[in-house]
Amino acid sequence: MKTTGVVRRIDHLGRIVVPKEIRKNLRIHDGESLEIFVDKDMVALKKYSPISDLDDFAKLLVDSVYESLGSNILIFDRDNVIAAAGPMKKKYLNQVVSSTLEACMENRESILSITTPMTIEISKGMTEHAKVVADTIVVGGDPIGMVMILATDRDVTETECKVVHIISQFLTKHIEE
């Protein structure tokens, strides 16, 4: 673990301020949660993502969709592609989410371009020209991720639109319980 050289005092209520530069570099936004770890005499903070706890489950979901429909499918948390299946898997798995998709999630937007291809930035500097359906995963009113299917050589089907919505709703309900 590397040091930042920043020292902060704890106030009388036990609070500490995480400097703006660190929050910006780690893409920590107001109201987001941090997970606290303790190891001997060290306290570490990690950006918390409720969907990242479902990594293995998300991988099973996308693999099942790919096996059944042959669709490129990605699941994002607020920061990274946490699960992917199809030819785009190697390219995007564990990549940082683009600011465009981050803004879509923040605004709780869906993306629907089922017959006309669009150019969409998935990760910083990495774009696809495809037909797209995507739905934001919202838990307790907060956007926590996104499910996306991309079709580069055909239209997105009605079934794929429903699958994206079902997975988004399922993950929402699973995390809320």
User: 10 — phi, psi (to 5°)?
Assistant: -90, 130
Question: pTM for the whole thing?
Answer: 0.78
Examine the domain organization and report whether 164 and 126 are in the same domain: yes
Examine the domain organization and report whether 94 and 170 are in the same domain: yes
Please give the pLDDT value at position 56: 85
User: Furthest-apart CA pair in the chain: how many Å?
Assistant: 61
Positive/negative CA dihedral, 66, 70, 72, 78: negative
Is residue 144 within 8 A of residue 175, CB to CB? The reply is yes
Please give the pLDDT value at position 166: 96
Is residue 149 within 8 A of residue 164, CB to CB? The reply is yes
Please give the pLDDT value at position 81: 94
User: 2 — phi, psi (to 5°)?
Assistant: -95, 150
Please give the pLDDT value at position 52: 66
Examine the domain organization and report whether 40 and 58 are in the same domain: no
Examine the domain organization and report whether 118 and 152 are in the same domain: yes
Q: Do β-strands 142-151 and 72-77 pair in parallel, antiparallel, or remain unpaired?
A: antiparallel
CATH of the domain at 10: 2.10.260.10
Is residue 157 within 8 A of residue 132, CB to CB? The reply is no
Query: What is the span of the domain harbouring residue 22?
Result: 1-48
Examine the domain organization and report whether 59 and 122 are in the same domain: yes
Q: In a structure prediction context, what are the per-residue pLDDT tens digits for the chain, which is 177 residues long? A: 777 778 888 889 988 888 888 888 777 877 777 888 888 888 888 777 767 677 788 999 999 999 999 999 999 998 899 999 999 999 999 999 999 999 999 999 999 999 999 999 999 889 999 999 999 999 888 899 999 999 999 999 999 999 999 999 999 998 887
Examine the domain organization and report whether 58 and 6 are in the same domain: no
Total residue length of the chain: 177
SS (H, E, C) the chain: CCCCCCCCCCCCCCCCCCCHHHHHHCCCCCCCCEEEEEECCEEEEEECCHHHHHHHHHHHHHHHHHHHHCCEEEEEECCEEEEEECCCHHHHCCCEECHHHHHHHHCCCCEEEEEEEEEEEEECCEEEEEEEEEEEEEECCEEEEEEEEEECCCCCCHHHHHHHHHHHHHHHHHHHC
